[in-house]
Chain A
Amino acid sequence: MTTNAKPQTLAQKLIARASGRPAVAPGEIVTCQVDLAMFHDSSGPRRLKPMLAELGAEIWDKRKVVLVIDHYVPEVDEESRRIVRIARDWAREQQLPHVYDGQGICHVVVPQHGHIRPGMFCVGGDSHSLTGGAFGSYMFGIGTTEMLGVLVTGELWVRVPQTIFMRWSGRLAYGVTAKDMMLSMIGRYGMNGGHYQAVEFCGEAVSALSMNERMTLANMSAELGAQVGLIAPDDETRSWLWQAGAQDIEVEPWHSDEDAAGIRHNFDASTLAPQIALPHSPAHARDVDDIEPTPVQLAYIGACTGAKLDDLRAAARVLAGYHVDKRVRLLVAPASVRDREAAEREGILRRLQEAGAELLPSACGMCAGYGGTVPENSTVIASIARNFKGRMGPTSAQVFLASPYTVAASALRGRITDPREVLWDGESEGAR
């Protein structure tokens, strides 16, 4: 068949495999076999349990299910205690083999424990499930009712997407990160600019990124309105996953054919400035030095997208040996316990604390408005993914989004600050 010989995108190859077809075409609706279903205490047991009971159905394959308790921990009130208790009791009843309780945020914990590999078709009960795309897996978020469908059938429909290739040439300057790349793309194309199609990040600047940074790109493809945010796996992926304990890692087949059809956008990483998204949308992004010096009262380094080990390292590079401005409260919630422990071993946590940072538990916390206290009428700068009005709590809060470098630099100065003003030149990176 001639159609089979057509060049395919990575997204097409992943869906073809999951749907058991030699090839698929954009626009086709196909049914895929799910390799991994991940959910958390908020989207998961408290709502899945009664629906499964109503159906009288069993989970199709418990080995393919991962439960992460990350939203309502640590429990702060009766309702959160109830939600977490339901999750724990249900995990025991069901004898789920893969449960991570209080270990950090699902999007970071699940790959860190080797559950995601290139070539897989995965779903998560959370919009930032796209993070799995950093490992060359077709992973995206679904709602709880759809998760119920997956749990009882092991299947899911998908409309084969077009691919939008975001090719980044050159190298990022010191102090500029994957978060800045994402904010600039979201600012340019808008929060639905991905049209629920596949976005694939490629080019020299993407290949040069660490896995943590690639996860940030894939993660915030959600804010670009993409169904998935993919990065073709390579040796970096293989070695990171091997260290995480993943077995049978195959990277070779999982890349777009050179002449595969798609929409192509080109960017130069070397000219990208640190970005800031103004309230109340990630799409309000611009160069940080384009805005007025804005005083901040709260700086937050947290969330799946902004508190992985590399993010903590970035903050420490800015803050080591200094103290945050006395008008600013700096809160740091490492994305996972593993990241927290690694940061502790590297001396990063100590440096952050000496700079005045208060450490919070490794959980979704303030990003989702579930924990912590954002004062009314405060100005906040945060390394999180979204600054919708009221998301972090009070609707009166003005939340700016930026990279951990920019958040740390702003905490240091007490106002929104370009991190390049406070970072030594790139040479000092190794010295710190």
Chain B
Amino acid sequence: MDSAATPISGLLQRGRRTQAAATQQPGRRVWRLGADVDTDTLAPGAWMKYSVEVIAQHCLESSLPQFALDVRAGDVIVAGPNFGIGSSREQAASALVHLGIAAVIAPSFGGLFFRNAFNVGLLLLTCRDAEAIAANERIEFDLQQGQVRCVVDAAGRELGDRAPQLACEPIAEFLLDMVRAGGLLPQLKHRLQPPTRL
């Protein structure tokens, strides 16, 4: 069985918050951001000396003050090009994991952020047409097909079979394995401390 077909949502509920008040509508809520979202915006320097729990409360506060308060586990971020440019601080990615973000979808990512994201278990989807997705739409993604689908439009109408599909770049299998495992640390743990047989 190709595990890429497994909905990744189950793996991505590690965030502190749970999906309270599950919505009736299909798909995931979208947080829409512009181009060049940098690591200092995701993990502001002034909070870097604290734990990721604290940093996460200030994630994106200079551009979306309500983000950390209102984000729910399973939400996705859709952004313009160059998401995650800037510093090597992986808290920029782990803050999003902590807040329960299921994936970030953008036309391109900072290279260092891209490595960090997978290392801490955050899924990134490189989607050339990501900016076609609007703030109030709801989307689904399918890793096997390498696709993002807009299942509910901005007016709240379910699109069913008419859902527009956007292609994503394929992701190397070892990186998908890393996200499924929850990041590099659990993978290393598994490698160095194989589970003891009962």
Contacts and interface: CB of A to CB of B under 8 A. Distances in A.
Interface stretch (B20-28, B44-52, B142-150, B152-160): B44-52
B85 interface: yes
Contacts of A152: 188, 192
Interface in B35-53: 36, 38, 40-41, 44-46, 48-50
B184 A148 contact: yes
Given A72-B49, A152-B192, A388-B40, A142 B110 contact: no
Contact of A127 (B49, B86, B184): B86
B111 interface: yes
Contacts of B18: none
A51 B185 contact: yes
Contacts of A79: 49-50
B13 interface: no
B111 A386 contact: no
Interface stretch (A89-97, A174-182, A190-198, A331-339): A190-198
A141 interface: yes
Mostly, the A contact residues are loop
Contacts of B81: 192
Contacts of B88: 43, 124-127, 129, 141-143
B89 interface: yes
Nearest to B108: A192
A157 B115 CA distance: 10
Given A127-B112, A143-B119, A227-B111, A395 B184 contact: no
A142 B88 CA distance: 6
Q: Most A CB atoms within 10 A — which of B44, B81, B90, B111?
A: B111
Interface string A280-322: 0101000000000000000000000000000000000000000
A391 interface: yes
B111 A388 contact: no
Contacts of A141: 88, 112
Contacts of A127: 86-88, 112
B193 interface: yes
Given A141-B112, A143-B119, A145-B119, A395 B62 contact: yes
Interface in A165-214: 190-192, 195-196
- Among A57, A127, A370, which residue has the most Cβ atoms of chain B within 10 A? A127
A57 B86 CA distance: 30
A390 B45 contact: yes
A192 B174 CA distance: 24
B188 A225 contact: no
Contacts of A42: 48-49, 89
Given A83-B49, A386-B86, A145 B120 contact: yes
B172 interface: yes
B177 to A, nearest CB: 12
A393 interface: yes
A54 interface: yes
* Among A190, A195, A196: residue with most chain B CB under 10 A: A196
Interface in B128-187: 172, 174, 183-185
A283 B38 CA distance: 13
Contacts of A143: 88-90, 93, 112, 115-116, 119-120
Interface string B71-103: 000000000011001111110010000000000
A342 B139 CA distance: 59
A226 B110 CA distance: 9
Contact of A145 (B45, B85, B116): B116
Contacts of A144: 90
Given A142-B112, A143-B88, 6 more contacts: A129-B88, A143-B93, A149-B188, A191-B82, A225-B111, A281-B36
9 contacts: A72-B49, A142-B112, A143-B115, A146-B116, A149-B119, A370-B45, A370-B48, A388-B40, A391-B40
Interface of A: 29, 42-43, 51, 54-57, 72, 79-80, 83, 124-127, 129, 140-146, 148-149, 152-153, 157, 190-192, 195-196, 225-227, 281, 283, 368-370, 386, 388-391, 393, 395
Interface of B: 36, 38, 40-41, 44-46, 48-50, 62, 81-82, 85-90, 93, 108, 110-112, 114-116, 119-120, 172, 174, 183-185, 188-189, 192-193
